């Protein structure tokens, strides 16, 4: 049965094998497509008869499932009244294996199922098939600190109420719109909800698998606005230094080539971290960002889909991201992206096989090898215009140091200059000159890194800094001897300390997820946590999401965020040793 898609130009439909169109006589173009694995077929038709029957076979270009590659989507907006059956047909026709369905979960708010998370999750799973996994996903919380999207999300009670509760409405009504000059946005537009970090920790403990979406995304709805409208992952670096609650980072989103997403990723990889890069469409079945336009293909080591294996390998970075091309790369014919290889001073080989996007007139133009974020080699095959190509990169990783490599391919459109392929240099150039050429590159694919790490190399350890300070009376400013700090982590009591005779306390180490209850006889007890209340950290967060760095550089366009704006080294210093004084009120 033919299912039209509202909002899409032309007559576009979904087909599970048989479909029909009712059209008057005339000349038509029929295009048939079913995802990157299949050829794109185009037919010019002259309809003169009352009934015209066609049989079209879509040749398989590359059997990704047989090779163990499966694709999924975590950030989408498939809302009611889109019927779930339509969604399932769309996913099957687009050759998508897994979907996490975001708000409003294809169901209206006024039915009981929508307010029972476990029932809602089970209902969504009921639309799964042997070849398609449908799961409950969510964009929650959505705050000034950044959004959190979930590949897998626990079936919490009253999910609609939770979304409303954890949406930072007061701030987001002003940011990007208001021309009001804020002297102290944190005080004038206070965040009044639960710590987003605590929410994420709780959801993850219950089985959630998360992604930091569009990490450098910002814009102005009003060019005279005094705060940027932020979708920036302001807390991603904070998390990276401590708990590692984010399981993946968006490195391809909105557009195929997101230089500033990649620039953040490359810099953090160079800080010694392994970070699983993922793709997100942030779309639906109707608008300009069509669901499945940007994909993450995960290698699970089996031709049979398994959700647990998919999520584990996704978190390990055993994948490539793409807007259309297929990019299969192995190191020494046995290691996949995301894996660690011990450098031995010998030559290693990256075996590359690439297919262009299935679209007509598409081909592979450039194959680019990156080492530690810099271009190591560009193979220009634009004259040959191959739709399928193999290549070998011979690399010599230093035996005594850590390095990482990844491969990128471009479709028929490639960067205007070879210098623009160097992501980190190009991002720096955008700070000095207006550049947006990269947004026009619509066919791109790249792998997660291959890590070459010596046996004695150690990844950065989570920060668990010491914390010390003074506890005083809020009015008299006199110390409160014996005041107690109870330390909680993930809801459990982790320990207590008491202030000495001078009101001073010291804690040898605290997790960045910690919360603190302060109590003393005759005084009001209260809770504090690092994420929302530690002044140096709140000032850091505000400097990131408030966008002062954007206003001082008018050359920056929406979504362009310099690496320096994340102030990574300064954040490490802030979190390496905590000096926090508290004042208490008399009961």
Structure confidence at residue 51 as a pLDDT band (50, 70, 90): confident
Note the pLDDT of residue 14: 66
Q: Which residues contact 8 (CB under 8 A, 6 or more apart)?
A: 286, 290
Q: What is the mean pLDDT of residues 326-350?
A: 97
Note the pLDDT of residue 16: 63
Work out the percent of the chain whose per-residue pLDDT is above 70.
Answer: 96
Pairs from 414-419 (Cβ < 8 Å, separation ≥ 24)? 414/365, 414/366, 414/382, 414/441, 415/366, 415/441, 418/375, 418/378
* Helices (H), ranges, 395-507: 423-432
- The mean-pLDDT minimum among 81-85, 91-95, 227-231, 263-267 falls in 81-85
Note the pLDDT of residue 117: 85
Note the pLDDT of residue 78: 85
Structure confidence at residue 3 as a pLDDT band (50, 70, 90): very low
- The mean-pLDDT minimum among 25-39, 382-396, 453-467 falls in 25-39
Q: What is the mean pLDDT of residues 231-252?
A: 97
Query: Token pair 């399981």 is at which residue?
Result: 247
For 509, the token pair is: 């180490």
Q: Please say whether the beta carbons of 269 and 446 come within 8 A.
A: no
Q: Which residues contact 78 (CB under 8 A, 6 or more apart)?
A: 87, 99, 101, 102, 105, 106, 284, 285, 291
Structure confidence at residue 80 as a pLDDT band (50, 70, 90): confident
- Strands 467-473 and 582-584 turn out to be parallel
Cα(first)–Cα(last) distance of the chain, in Å? 71
Residue 72 has pLDDT above 60, yes or no: yes
CB atoms within 10 A of CB 527: 12
- The mean-pLDDT minimum among 3-7, 21-25, 83-87, 203-207 falls in 3-7
Residue 100 has pLDDT above 80, yes or no: yes
Note the pLDDT of residue 1: 29
Q: What is the mean pLDDT of residues 244-256?
A: 96
Domains 324-456 and 467-584 share a fold: yes
Tell me what the pLDDT averaged over the chain comes to.
Answer: 92
**Is 324-456 a domain of CATH 2.40.50.100?**
no
Distances (CA, A) of 407 to 352, 375, 562: 8, 10, 23
Q: What is the mean pLDDT of residues 523-535?
A: 97
Residue 88 has pLDDT above 70, yes or no: yes
Q: Please say whether the beta carbons of 372 and 404 come within 8 A.
A: yes
Q: Residue 438 — φ and ψ, nearest 5°? A: -60, -25
How wide is the angle at C-alpha 493 spanned by C-alphas 474 and 516, nearest 5°? 25
Strand stretches in 345-459, DSSP E: 348-355, 366-371, 374-380, 388-395, 403-410, 444-447, 450-452
d(CA 153, CA 157): 12
* Helices (H), ranges, 257-304: 259-269
d(CA 157, CA 254): 31
The CATH homologous superfamily of the domain defined by 467-584 = Carboxypeptidase-like, regulatory domain (2.60.40.1120)
Identify the bridge partners of residue 340 per DSSP, sorted by sequence position: 451
Work out the percent of the chain whose per-residue pLDDT is above 90.
Answer: 73
Q: Read off the pLDDT of residues 530-583 as tens digits, 9 standing for 90 and up.
A: 999 999 999 999 999 999 999 999 999 999 999 999 999 999 999 999 999 999
- The residues spanned by each domain of the chain are 3-47, 324-456, 467-584
Q: What is the mean pLDDT of residues 26-51?
A: 86
Note the pLDDT of residue 118: 87
Structure confidence at residue 17 as a pLDDT band (50, 70, 90): low
Note the pLDDT of residue 104: 79
Q: Which residue has the higher pLDDT, 116 or 8?
A: 116
User: Taking the model in full, what pTM does it have?
Assistant: 0.95
d(CA 34, CA 15): 9
């Amino acid at each position: 049965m033919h299912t039209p898609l509202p909002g899409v130009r032309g007559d576009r439909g979904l087909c599970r094998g048989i479909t029909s169109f009712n059209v008057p006589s005339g000349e038509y173009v029929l295009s048939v497509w079913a995802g990157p694995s299949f050829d794109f077929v185009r037919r010019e038709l002259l309809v003169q008869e009352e009934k015209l029957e066609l049989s079209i076979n879509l040749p398989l270009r590359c059997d990704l499932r047989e090779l163990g590659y499966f694709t999924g989507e975590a950030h989408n907006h498939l809302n009611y009244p889109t019927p779930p059956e339509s969604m399932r047909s769309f996913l099957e026709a687009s050759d998508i294996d897994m979907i996490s369905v975001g708000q409003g979960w294809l169901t209206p708010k006024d039915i009981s199922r929508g307010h029972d998370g476990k029932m809602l999750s089970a209902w969504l799973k009921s639309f799964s098939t042997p070849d398609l996994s449908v799961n409950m996903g969510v964009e929650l919380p959505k705050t000034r600190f950044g959004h959190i999207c979930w590949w897998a999300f626990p079936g919490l009670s009253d999910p609609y109420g939770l979304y409303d509760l954890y949406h930072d409405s007061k701030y987001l009504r002003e940011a990007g719109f208001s021309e009001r000059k804020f002297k102290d946005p944190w005080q004038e537009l206070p965040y009044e909800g639960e710590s987003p970090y605590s929410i994420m920790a709780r959801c993850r403990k219950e089985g959630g698998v998360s992604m930091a979406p569009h990490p450098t995304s910002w814009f102005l709805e009003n060019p005279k606005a005094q705060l940027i409208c932020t979708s920036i992952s302001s807390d991603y670096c904070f998390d990276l230094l401590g708990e590692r609650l984010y399981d993946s980072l968006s490195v391809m989103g909105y557009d195929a080539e997101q230089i500033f997403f990649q620039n953040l990723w490359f810099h953090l990889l160079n800080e010694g971290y392994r970070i699983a890069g993922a793709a997100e469409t942030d779309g639906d079945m109707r608008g300009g960002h069509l669901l499945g336009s940007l994909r993450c293909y995960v290698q699970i080591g089996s031709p049979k889909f398994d959700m647990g294996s998919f999520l584990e390998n996704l978190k390990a970075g055993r994948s490539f991201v793409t807007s259309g091309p297929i990019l299969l790369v192995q190191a020494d014919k046995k290691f996949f992206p995301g894996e660690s290889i011990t450098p031995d001073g010998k030559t290693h080989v990256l075996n590359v096989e690439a297919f262009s996007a299935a679209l007509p007139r598409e081909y592979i133009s450039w194959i680019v090898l990156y080492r530690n974020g810099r271009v190591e080699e560009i193979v220009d095959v634009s004259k040959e215009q191959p739709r399928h190509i193999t290549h070998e990169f011979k690399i010599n990783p230093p035996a005594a140091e850590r390095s990482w490599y990844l491969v990128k391919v471009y479709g028929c459109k490639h960067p205007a200059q070879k210098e623009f392929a160097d992501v980190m240099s190009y991002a720096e150039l955008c700070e000095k000159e207006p550049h947006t050429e990269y947004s026009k590159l619509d066919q791109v694919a790249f792998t997660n890194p291959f890590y070459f790490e010596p046996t004695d190399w150690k990844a950065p350890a989570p920060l668990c800094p010491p914390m010390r300070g003074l506890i005083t009376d809020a009015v008299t400013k006199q110390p409160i001897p014996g005041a107690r700090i109870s330390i909680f982590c993930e809801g459990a009591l982790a320990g207590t300390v008491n202030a000495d005779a001078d009101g001073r306390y010291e804690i040898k180490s605290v997790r960045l997820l910690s919360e603190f209850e302060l109590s003393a006889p005759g005084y009001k007890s209260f809770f504090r946590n690092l994420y929302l209340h530690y002044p140096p950290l709140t000032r850091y967060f505000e400097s990131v999401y408030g966008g002062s760095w954007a206003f001082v550089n008018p050359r920056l366009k929406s979504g362009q965020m310099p690496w320096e704006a994340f102030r990574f080294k300064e954040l490490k210093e802030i979190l390496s040793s905590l000096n926090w004084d508290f004042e208490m009120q008399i009961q």
